[in-house]
Amino acid sequence: MRSGVDIIVIGAGAAGLAAAKEATQHGARVLVLEGRDRIGGRIHTLASPSAPFATELGAEFVHGRPDSTWGLIRNLELSAYDVPFEHHERRHGRLAKADDFDARLEDAMRGLAKLRGPDVSFSNYLTRSRVSELKRRTALDFVKGFDAADPERISARSLAKEWADIGNTEDNTQFRLLTGYGALVAGLLRSIDRRLLKLRLREQVTGVHWKPGEAAIHTRRRVYRAPRVVITLPLGILQCPPGGPGAVHFDPPVPALRRVHDIGFGGVVKVLLEKVLLEFDRPFWEDDEDTADASFLHTPGSAFPTWWTARPLRSCRLTGWAGGPVADALSNADESRLRRCAIQSLADLFHRARGFLGARLCRFHAHNWLTDPFSRGAYSYALVGQDTAASELARPVAGTLCFAGEALDTENPATVAGALTSGKRAGRWAAR
């Protein structure tokens, strides 16, 4: 099929839409192919029937003040609010504010800046460091959750760079968008010149057949052609074995793709990542003065060891998070099991009966990014000794293909900001 376009962009997430916008601004005609029935990719915002703010099943926080994200927030006139970085945890049988949480993390991470010689894993780094067992556990749990990473595999050198950026939590505020990241990607799409853009949803790419100056993109329904292609598929899809669910076949093989397994890709159930969102008939945690103003709550050892409220907004909602290796046990769980695990984790956290919590649960949302057929994971992290993998993968191939996405940005990897920056860079290249 003749597409009548200059550039094909595979994927309508943040990176793909940023690439399309940049290319059209240079006058290129762009076709965006997206396998899902929606835009956004790993941004997945639901309208909430019970609150005037967003329900995020995917990306949620704006980390710091990256220009790529904040430029859009301001141009689209979106509202963002600060997230209090305050922690409560259950320790010694009591749930209370962890006033020393930041200090424990800082003590455990301080030595990262002094690393010399060959790269090592974060676990190896902690074994060498002289910190208490409590500080060591705090740091390990933080990396498993915040980075969705396996401490045995994640690069200590990469964490040194990350910690230099986020270590001072007072100077590196985290934010949420009031109407969610979904409003940001929708606004980004609206800002693209529609005379130069074609968007095709439900077009899952199965193969890329290419030669210098020409590419044929095979989907389950048809073939599209263009002289240049920007590929913003998640790393989890690029890592799929040939013939596996969601795998994309490249003919001829792209040499740089041998590096895709040199970057880690964490899972999340937002109940690795798994993420769950529970809405109750009332914010029962505010009954106790110790947790009335809680933001982040921790109960190590539970299926969902980290929870957060909507603070500073008042809401009946709690979000549960399991990242990295902790999520592996949940990777194949159905919604019924996720609900049970979430309720049990909250029972452990608040020392409340499961029956009390279950009776007050009004709504339950969950998304398993590990088993999502269009992502196979949540976001990336750097593996030990593989600090050149991202830049090598991001290098254009024979003037025809270019890969982009959060995993390939070296300044803000694993973030929406990184996806936007990487996509914009690829779109600029493709429109030359």
Mind listing the domains of the chain with CATH numbers? Answer: 1-48+66-84+180-261+385-432 (3.50.50.60)
pLDDT one-digit tens code per residue, 40-54: 999 999 876 666 788
State the Cα–Cα distance between residues 300 and 375, nearest whole angstrom: 28
The HSE-up count of residue 236 (CA atoms within 13 Å, CB side) is 23
414 has a pLDDT exceeding 90: yes
**Sequence-ordered list of residues with C-beta below 8 angstroms from that of 147, at least 6 positions apart, any chain:** 154, 159, 162, 266, 323, 324, 381, 414
- Identify the sign of the CA torsion 344, 347, 352, 356: negative
Predicted confidence at residue 277, as pLDDT, reads 85
Separation of alpha carbons 82 and 101, rounded Å:
19
166-195 CB burial, b ≥16 within 10 A, e <16: bbeeeeeebbbbebbbbbbbbbbbeebeee
Secondary structure (3-state) at 425: helix
- pLDDT tens digits for 136-181? 999 999 999 889 899 999 999 999 988 887 655 445 689 999 999 9
What string of DSSP letters covers 372-405?
Answer: -TTTSSSEEEEBTT-TTHHHHHTS-BTTTEEE-S
Q: At what angle do helices 416-430 and 67-75 cross, to 10 degrees?
A: 90
Directed axis angle between helix 133-146 and helix 101-109, to 10°? 90
Q: Per-residue confidence at 304, pLDDT binned at 50, 70, 90? A: very high
CA dihedral 271, 370, 185, 46 (to 10 degrees): -30
